[in-house]
Structure 1
Amino acid sequence: MERLLQAGLTRFIRRGNLRLTVADEKPLNFGDGTGTPVAIRFWNRRAVLRVLLNPELRFGEAYMKGDFVLESGTIADLLSVLMSQGQHGEVPFFARPQAILRYGRRRLDQFNHRKRSRRNVAHHYDLDGRLYSLFLDADRQYSCAYFETPDQTLDDAQLAKKRHLAAKLLIESGQRLLDIGSGWGGLGLYLAEYCGAKVTGVTLSEEQLKLARGRAVERHLTDSVEFRLQDYRDLNERFDRIVSVGMFEHVGVNHYRGFFEQCARLLSDDGVMVLHSIGRSEGPSATNPWIDKYIFPGGYIPALSEVLPAIERAGLLVTDIEILRLHYAETLKAWRTRFMARAEEARRLYDERFVRMWEFYLAASEMAFRHQGMMVFQIQLAKRVEAVPITRDYIPREENRLRARERNTRAPLRMAGE
């Protein structure tokens, strides 16, 4: 076992400070001794072998089951060491065969027809609503925040994200706006309240729909906001503005052309659309198998090289692209910190295995943005080249106008779920 680990991991772990112990055997040291010291102990050899045979799937499972303990550092520290080795997204040489097979079958894995899409959404978003109140901001924004300053709070950064999107949408009062993947309704409610939009939000999550509708009633916005349990593919209306945040990752690579063709049908001739999605800085790949099995079944994070051709074929024009690099890493760090501070409450909702799974998900996702080339892109789209101004100075100007409106009308913040 010692020779196998030494041979396999020495080639892979060249940076960092990692000590690995299997049961009562002699500890093995890997890396160049820099960074936070991390020490991990596996309880038996069998667990180690399972991880070595399929590390991208089995390592997360081993943490969920308690097959190893961290004697020094946290799971985030350990994942930082493991995921910062090599080039972006590179896996150990002994894991490459599985990675090649996953890439070959990715289109089958992402064949998200309507029934499967709803089932995939329910797997993640129809969990006990109290879970999300443990770590999200007061508005339940479950997507990348926009940190205008390094010390900005999560709530303020999520508000800045909504403001930033609203500025790019160039909304005029009374315009019809479609929110594809409207979640718990926070963005749609903001666009109705501060921009005067007539909002239609569609979601496939029954739990999210229930809360979003309740929030619209509570804020007296039912005349200007409608939330529906509906697949975007079944819409047959026209909208002046379309926005989609954190939903495109669930579409699947097979359906990109259909997604943008449907958006083109729904968007008015003078309309503007903004798509906000996680993306890959490098080329196409496949979904991590642990994430696919336990967190987002059927999900896929696209490269821009996969998205832009589908936009072009749909007849839409790209009028602006912005790349947010470390904003999501900071968002995930905030979520993880908040979640772990209330881990005992999560255990009461579910169990220890679930808490370890969620901690692993948040930590691994954060490190993917820090070390493996993940980013967020915001693509502004239109049908006519003159639909948006020719310079970007309208964005900060509109943000300032919205910021002033927020100061005049903002209600006291409450924790989500209160």
Structure 2
Amino acid sequence: MNILLRNVMERLVRTGNLAIVDPGGSTHTFGDGTGPRITIAIRTQHAERAIGFDPMLAVPETYMDGEVDVVEGDLIDLLRIAYQNMGPSGLDVAWTRALESARSAFRRFQQINTTVRAKRNVARHYDLSPELYRLFLDNDMQYSCAYFESPDVTLEEAQLAKKRHIAAKLDLRPGQTVLDIGCGFGGLSLYLARNFDVDVVGITLSEEQHAIATERAHAEGLDAHVHFELRDYRDLSERFDRIVSVGMFEHVGVNHYRTFFDKCATLLKPDGVMLLHSIGRFGPPTATNAFIRKHIFPGGYIPALSEVLPSVERAGLMTGDVEILRLHYAETLRHWRQRFLANRERIKSIYDERFCRMWEFYLVGSEAAFRWQDLMVFQIQLTRSNSVLPITRQYMLETEKGLAEHEAAEPGHLPEKSSHSRMSEPGE
């Protein structure tokens, strides 16, 4: 084992039981021997050198390329050892700290998300085969954090609870107009129109999402109330009673926060309400994970609340409610990972082995970051006037309860989805 990698491993793994088989076949152990043994095999000297120099990027990349394998335990066990030893401050090795500092310094250049670049970035991820998403998402194709009211609920139940939770915070009234920024595959827009008799405009930059969402609205007979458009939020000029955005803010980029909230303030009527749902971090601002930025979400960024709220304030918006969802996304990702692995051979036939290994690491790494690092999800309720909403949260609780009772009374309202299902059409 080269000295660079040994230095990293000795500094990183103080607790746990990690074994590394180097390219020459020698086994090296790290940690205090507690817990189950995790063994990885490094197949090439290239991988050994790369991991020693830049482990945050090289471990997932060399795993993608088949140069590293987990031969005892699995990826989530490996990342648990790494993240629990690392802590939220990162890897305590001089050159890796320097690399992360450089990435933080250049993060604004990596997030210059013009309208052209934003569409290109979205296409890289969201315009993949729709079958891929059907193979690991819930039946409604919700590609964002679910809401687990208890640990034993299904993914379908948790995603339905998420929609109830968001709808309750919007305090909707029949006949109102709603803007869904980053509408995904259309599930939330359809849910709001179906349950509250509102008219919804959903916007996305993904052609695949737009096509599926439009088809779903037509299939449900909701064309008159739900309309999906391929538009950038910066191009809108209409005004709405309600604005909701779920899982889109991570793609805005820190350079554009003022633009985003200024635009939302102009689009929201004086007595309007907005609900922003986004991944965030407990710690201070930092750079996007190098692997995620390069291979999964180009142009993406997960903000600290300290970066978000100043732009909210400058836009003249008022923060009415903030909720932090801590482990909900870890559980969501666990379900996605299990479904992805159950359908791995089908996904491999759509793409290839390298793609499967890349997405395995993405799903596992994201789950691990929510469990053992500083990631969370925040929901911020915004208004333009502090007299728009009731002064207690009771209205939210009552709305959620009413929706749950209504859904429970509907026969077959929540079809189960087997984790081994190869394909299912969207819809509840």
TM-score, normalised to structure 2, is 0.95
CA contact (8 A) 1:130 1:417 kept: no
Tell me if structure 2 keeps the 8 A contact 1:136–1:416: no
CA drift of 1:85 comes to: 1.6
| Aligned-partner residue type, residue 250 of structure 2 | E
SS of 2:153's partner is coil
Report SS of the residue matched to 1:215. helix
| Counterpart-to-counterpart distance in 1, 2:237 and 2:243 | 14
Amino acid at match of 2:281: R
Tell me how far apart the structure 2 counterparts of residues 161 and 344 of structure 1 sit (CA, whole Å).
Answer: 30
2:225 alignment partner in structure 1:
224
Residues 372-417 of structure 1: per-residue CA shift (max 9 Å, x gap): 1100000000011111111112211110111122234464637643
- 2:310 partner letter: P
Which piece of structure 1 moves more, 320-329 or 33-42? 33-42
Question: Over residues 273-320 of structure 1, what are the superposed CA-to-partner deviations in whole Å (9 max), with x where a residue is unaligned?
Answer: 000000010100001111111100000000000000000000000000
1:282 partner SS: coil
Per-residue deviation, 1:32: 2.1
- The whole-number CA distance in structure 1 between the counterparts of 2:271 and 2:36 is 53
- For residues 194 and 55 of structure 2, what CA distance do their matches in structure 1 show? 48
> 2:348 and 2:262 mapped to 1: Cα distance?
44
Does residue 58 in structure 1 map to residue 92 in structure 2? no
Secondary structure (helix, strand or coil) at the match of 1:192 reads helix
Q: Provide closer, same or farther for how the CA distance between residues 347 and 92 of structure 1 changes in structure 2, counting only shifts above 3 A.
A: farther
Residues in 1 aligned to 2:202 and 2:71: alpha-carbon distance in whole angstroms? 47
Asked whether the equivalents of residues 270 and 384 of structure 2 are also in contact (C-alpha less than 8 Å), the reply is yes
1:89, distance to aligned residue in structure 2 (A): 4.6
* Number of equivalent positions: 418
Residue 36 of structure 1 and its aligned partner are, at CA, apart by 3.0
Is 1:267 the equivalent of 2:261? Answer: no
Asked whether 1:302 is paired with 2:303, we answer: yes
Matched with 2:90 is: 90
Provide the C-alpha distance between the structure 2 equivalents of 1:58 and 1:3, rounded to a whole number of angstroms. Answer: 16
Q: Which amino acid aligns with 2:189?
A: G
Runs of 5+ in structure 1 lacking a partner? none
Give the one of 411, 419, 425 matched to 1:417: 425
Q: Which residue of 1 aligns with 2:28?
A: 28
Matched-pair identity in %: 53
Question: Which residue in the other structure is 2:17 paired with?
Answer: 17
User: 2:75 maps to which residue?
Assistant: 75
After the TM superposition, list the runs of 4 or more consecutive aligned residues in structure 1 that deviate by more than 6 angstroms: none
| Bigger Cα displacement from structure 2, 7-16 vs 356-365 | 7-16
More divergent stretch after superposition (140-149 vs 17-26): 17-26
Q: 1:41 Cα deviation (Å)? A: 1.0
C-alpha deviation, 1:17, in angstroms? 1.4
> In the superposition, relative to structure 1, how do residues 150 and 412 fare at CA in structure 2: closer, same or farther (>3 Å)?
closer
AA partner of residue 171 (structure 2): L
Task: Give the aligned residue type for 1:44.
Answer: T
Letter paired with 1:292: R
Aligned letter for 1:17?
A: N
Distance 1:63 1:108 in 2: 28
Residue 72 of structure 1 deviates from its aligned partner by 0.3
**Counterpart residue number, 2:312:** 311
TM-score, scaled to structure 1: 0.97
Does the Cα contact within 8 Å between 2:4 and 2:53 map onto a contact in 1?
no
**1:329–1:366 Cα contact (<8 Å) kept:** yes
2:3 & 2:167 partners in 1: Cα distance?
Answer: 57
Greater shift, 52-61 or 163-172, is seen at 52-61
Residue 244 of structure 2: SS of its match in structure 1? Answer: strand
| Partner residue, 1:107 | 108
Distance between the aligned counterparts of 2:37 and 2:142, measured in 1? 34
Equivalent position amino acid for 2:344 in 1: A
**Structure 2 SS opposite 1:279:** strand
- Matched residue type, 2:299: G
Paired residue secondary structure (2:179): strand
1:397-416 alignment runs, 5 A limit: 397-409=398-410, 411=413, 413=415, 416=424
Could you tell me whether the CA contact under 8 Å between 1:83 and 1:89 is conserved in 2? no
Partners in 2 of 1:358 and 1:309 — Cα distance?
Answer: 34
State the distance in 2 between where 1:107 and 1:7 align. Answer: 31
Which residue does 1:238 correspond to in 2? 239
Greater alpha carbon shift after TM alignment, 337-346 vs 85-94: 85-94
Gaps of 5+ in 2: 418-422
